[in-house]
Chains A and B, each alone.
Chain A
């Protein structure tokens, strides 16, 4: 091999240089590895000085290959590729060895770490010499965007894009947009009315000339790639002709069937079989719920049809499919609330006056089932004392280890509302109070002033078994007050459980559909936890709001705007570079066995009948390598991951067992003599 390899060992401050003898690794690489013409160690390779070091060497020493032994390529591969390409070396002729994540961070044994770092460098040096120049392809970006989910995060993203003049398709699963925020009465910490700040934005969405709202709809499939996604949307049958409907609501009035509204009213109120979740719903068109409609059940009724002034009711409607083409996707599918019944000792579902947080939001809401009166389950009695339990299902290894981020503040909001509306005593049972954001600590202070009681300790149980005087007919909250180190029993009339925010029940499926992965806890994973919070590992698919993890409205809005900004960036650039790391089928080797035909997760493989061979569309291929592994004829090779490259890397990693020339040690041969 005639390549001139430069090797750079990064100290990463003391991150690497602590456990790894970086100078020794550099010295060893220069002396022992074929092809290495220079090896240096440097404090921060990713700094501009570090990058310049490489560029100088390419220029002055004529390096044809570069190996940087530093952090994971996830972080800085792009940095070093760009640095090299700026000076004229094809970016795919560089290789990183992860001697931080895979070496210095996993051991404190200096000798072992140094040895492993050498082997990793040997692997990279052998591999890089077989790497080939690759050229990315440039494709145009379709300026239309798909926003999935019409909660506050999705609404914000859609409006930002639409206001900037770009077309947005918003797909919302429920009959109306608005998400959880539409269910709330007030919002912390300002206590402004949720509807007052949300509904103007909702109607903006509904009226915006650049937004096509597809409510009561879901994404059926997504294919394609950044800049050019094909989306198939299923619009569920509403049984109402949206072109004819004026939203007058006569159908709702006349419908004789009343059912419990489990979704919007959290089971506390009723709706009709033909309904709008709430009066300000956007779009205004009602939906006939097929499962409860009398006509669908028994074949007669049609009261709505009789009274509809515009003949908009259509019982024959079926689901329809819409095919869209968009350049980018923003997912803002939000959260579900923890099922508080899963913690039986808190009595939800067994003890009537134990409520969930969403139920309480509806109780408080002037448009809710009690017209804003905070009443016990009997519908008439005002509570005189209320207990609020934090962290129900959060910070709990049995359920969700994470903190749900909004419960402490909701507790303060609830405390204020209860005291304001009923004058009742309010007790909050918290583990730690976490008023983290702007004006939150001040809000906490305010509630302390207002006389809300705070008891620090996890609640053991909520019971109606009275033991002490004054407990009869009450719910007793038993908890250890860790500040005074005593068990306490607080009798109250009403208990509110602040259930955890958890990933949508179908988040995993949704993630698969959009090529977005989820962490162990089920929230969608961002590309980088600090530096790239709204992008995902799939180019062109962004996440915003609580689908990424628990957060409050300001953060959800900020992420919605951030995702929109990222998309706008793509749109104004106009083109995207498609990674050239794709698989190709060598026609002469392909026998047309068709093993690979069904395997590609991106549908990039087609079978060419005329030539009787299979073919990979490079624009669709993401280089995942599934087909490369499967092809029995080895007719498929993955650029940048060829067999030769992978074997060379493995041989390098096994340097100490196979020696410098890569030849496996052969068994000794018998002397050349007649037997």
Chain B
């Protein structure tokens, strides 16, 4: 629906916010090119920290539900991000989890394989470039002569936006493709929306848009990308390259596999899938071409040395696993105070 359906004439209010994210989603918004002017026509932008100055207290003062649309990118790593999520939820009519971090945790949530303590130990002590003889660590409160200083609390666990507040729509992608962003904006502005809580996107997977030919699959050996120059016309997976296109929601246009690079899953799971990684693993396990348990072990161990990195790269926070078990720190109690 790329150019169809013009935004409504009446000007609404738009907020864009970023939490734990890389900034790619901000750039993706600009990727809609000159259509950004149409966005400006339709909306007054009330908050966009990446691009313009703005104050949290101005938002706090706005009446509830006075922002028509909030595009929120980034995961929830700290108490301040969670506060902003709650604030924008309260002030916005429609809250969109924009991009993979907000929708499913993405790269920031890979830190869920560690505890806060381990992260601080690495960041403030172990890295070779750290010079911290006094072992200073971030504190929530610090007393100085002038009074008490506050820092946001760094959570043990990265959450998705949806795990913090109620989300109206999800827009997947790391980052979302500009065309899909525009489609979503048009859908929102024209009110042609799916049920609240749903993902705005396709219901099939990347394979559906991939130009490579597919056959029955039997895999004897998984190959890392540097081990093979793949045949240009055949399905990468059939050639042993772990391509996540089979499980990843369509929407990108199969950009990576088209140029010979396997899909890494940035568009997240297909509609209704509860655990992307589990889907990938059962699918691949089903087509390993061996009946011998030892050989199967070898094929998996040599070909997929990092299953979390391969299959939960984008979705760990949103998966059934969510994080590495926390119960190991001594008394069995989970350390997270938040």
**Chain A contact residues, CB within 8 Å of chain B:** 588-599, 607, 626, 629-635, 643, 647, 666-670, 672-675
Contact of A670 among B79, B163, B204, B272 (CB under 8 A): B79
In the complex, what distance in Å separates the CA atom of A325 from the CA atom of B246? 38
Set of chain B residues within 8 Å of A670, measured between Cβ atoms: 79, 82-83, 153, 338
In the complex, what distance in Å separates the CA atom of A596 from the CA atom of B153? 46
User: How far apart are B76's CB and chain A's nearest CB, in angstroms?
Assistant: 10
Set of chain A residues within 8 Å of B150, measured between Cβ atoms: 675
B270 x A589 contact (CB < 8 A): yes
Stretch binding the partner chain, chosen from B100-108, B180-188, B212-220: B212-220
Set of chain B residues within 8 Å of A591, measured between Cβ atoms: 204-208, 245-246, 250
Stretch binding the partner chain, chosen from B8-16, B33-41, B192-200, B276-284: B276-284
Q: Binary interface profile of B, 298-318, with partner A (CB < 8 Å = 1, else 0)?
A: 000000000000000000000
Sampled A-B contacts (12; CB under 8 Å)? A588-B204, A591-B246, A592-B207, A594-B216, A626-B286, A630-B282, A632-B270, A632-B282, A632-B283, A633-B247, A633-B273, A634-B279
Which of under 10, 10 to 19, 20 to 34, or 35 or more describes the interface residues of B? 35 or more
User: How far apart are B164's CB and chain A's nearest CB, in angstroms?
Assistant: 7
B214 x A594 contact (CB < 8 A): yes
- Contact A643/B206 with A667-B336, A674-B56, A674-B83 known, Cβ cut-off 8 Å: no
Set of chain A residues within 8 Å of B82, measured between Cβ atoms: 669-670
Q: Does B60 contact A (CB under 8 A)?
A: yes
Contact of A643 among B217, B269, B272 (CB under 8 A): B272
In the A-B complex, the 10 residue pairs with the smallest Cβ-Cβ separation, listed nearest first, are A632-B247, A591-B207, A591-B208, A632-B283, A630-B286, A632-B246, A593-B246, A593-B207, A591-B205, A633-B205
A672 x B204 contact (CB < 8 A): no
A669 x B214 contact (CB < 8 A): no
Q: Does B271 contact A (CB under 8 A)?
A: yes
Q: Does B87 contact A (CB under 8 A)?
A: yes
Q: Does B62 contact A (CB under 8 A)?
A: no
B152 x A675 contact (CB < 8 A): yes
Set of chain A residues within 8 Å of B321, measured between Cβ atoms: none
User: How far apart are B198's CB and chain A's nearest CB, in angstroms?
Assistant: 15
Set of chain B residues within 8 Å of A598, measured between Cβ atoms: 216-218, 287
User: How far apart are B325's CB and chain A's nearest CB, in angstroms?
Assistant: 15
Q: Does B295 contact A (CB under 8 A)?
A: no
B216 x A631 contact (CB < 8 A): no
In the complex, what distance in Å separates the CA atom of A594 from the CA atom of B214? 7
A593 x B214 contact (CB < 8 A): yes
- Contact A632/B57 with A594-B215, A667-B336 known, Cβ cut-off 8 Å: no
Set of chain A residues within 8 Å of B285, measured between Cβ atoms: 630
Q: A595's closest neighbor in chain B, by CB? A: B283
B208 x A592 contact (CB < 8 A): yes
Q: Does B274 contact A (CB under 8 A)?
A: yes
Set of chain B residues within 8 Å of A667, measured between Cβ atoms: 157, 336, 338
Those of B153-171 within 8 Å (CB) of chain A: 153, 157, 163-164
A594 x B204 contact (CB < 8 A): no
Q: B336's closest neighbor in chain A, by CB? A: A667
A595 x B287 contact (CB < 8 A): yes
User: How far apart are A8's CB and chain B's nearest CB, in angstroms?
Assistant: 32
Q: A596's closest neighbor in chain B, by CB? A: B286
B283 x A631 contact (CB < 8 A): yes
Those of B216-245 within 8 Å (CB) of chain A: 216-218, 235, 237, 245
Set of chain A residues within 8 Å of B235, measured between Cβ atoms: 593
- Contact A589/B204 with A669-B82, A669-B164 known, Cβ cut-off 8 Å: yes
Most B CB contacts (10 A, CB to CB) among A593, A597, A631 go to A593
Contact of A634 among B152, B164, B272 (CB under 8 A): B272
Contact of B83 among A599, A607, A672 (CB under 8 A): A672
Q: Does B80 contact A (CB under 8 A)?
A: yes
Q: A593-B237, A669-B82, A670-B338 are in contact. List 16 more A-B contacts (CB 8 A).
A: A588-B203, A591-B204, A591-B207, A591-B245, A593-B246, A594-B216, A629-B286, A631-B283, A632-B205, A632-B246, A634-B269, A635-B204, A667-B336, A669-B86, A670-B153, A674-B60
B83 x A589 contact (CB < 8 A): no
Contact of A599 among B79, B280, B286, B338 (CB under 8 A): B286
Contact of A675 among B80, B207, B246, B283 (CB under 8 A): B80
Those of B4-62 within 8 Å (CB) of chain A: 56-57, 60
Most B CB contacts (10 A, CB to CB) among A588, A667, A674 go to A667
Set of chain B residues within 8 Å of A589, measured between Cβ atoms: 203-204, 270-271
Q: A629's closest neighbor in chain B, by CB? A: B282
B214 x A632 contact (CB < 8 A): no
Contact of B87 among A599, A632, A633, A672 (CB under 8 A): A672
A595 x B217 contact (CB < 8 A): yes
Those of B59-108 within 8 Å (CB) of chain A: 60, 79-80, 82-83, 86-87, 90
In the complex, what distance in Å separates the CA atom of A588 from the CA atom of B272? 13
Q: A630's closest neighbor in chain B, by CB? A: B286
B279 x A632 contact (CB < 8 A): yes
Q: B210's closest neighbor in chain A, by CB? A: A591
B216 x A597 contact (CB < 8 A): yes
Set of chain B residues within 8 Å of A590, measured between Cβ atoms: 204
In the complex, what distance in Å separates the CA atom of A593 from the CA atom of B206? 9
In the complex, what distance in Å separates the CA atom of A626 from the CA atom of B287? 12
Q: Binary interface profile of B, 246-284, with partner A (CB < 8 Å = 1, else 0)?
A: 110010000000000000000001111110000110110
In the complex, what distance in Å separates the CA atom of A635 from the CA atom of B82? 35
Set of chain B residues within 8 Å of A595, measured between Cβ atoms: 217, 246, 283, 286-287
Set of chain A residues within 8 Å of B57, measured between Cβ atoms: 674
Q: B140's closest neighbor in chain A, by CB? A: A675
Most A CB contacts (10 A, CB to CB) among B204, B206, B214, B215 go to B204
Q: B289's closest neighbor in chain A, by CB? A: A598
In the complex, what distance in Å separates the CA atom of A424 from the CA atom of B165? 94
In the complex, what distance in Å separates the CA atom of A592 from the CA atom of B205? 9
- Contact A633/B83 with A593-B207, A595-B283 known, Cβ cut-off 8 Å: no
A593 x B336 contact (CB < 8 A): no
User: How far apart are A595's CB and chain B's nearest CB, in angstroms?
Assistant: 5
In the complex, what distance in Å separates the CA atom of A633 from the CA atom of B205? 6
In the complex, what distance in Å separates the CA atom of A632 from the CA atom of B273? 9
In the complex, what distance in Å separates the CA atom of A668 from the CA atom of B159? 13
In the complex, what distance in Å separates the CA atom of A607 from the CA atom of B215? 9
A594 x B56 contact (CB < 8 A): no
In the complex, what distance in Å separates the CA atom of A489 from the CA atom of B145? 104
Set of chain B residues within 8 Å of A672, measured between Cβ atoms: 83, 86-87, 90
Set of chain B residues within 8 Å of A674, measured between Cβ atoms: 56-57, 60, 83
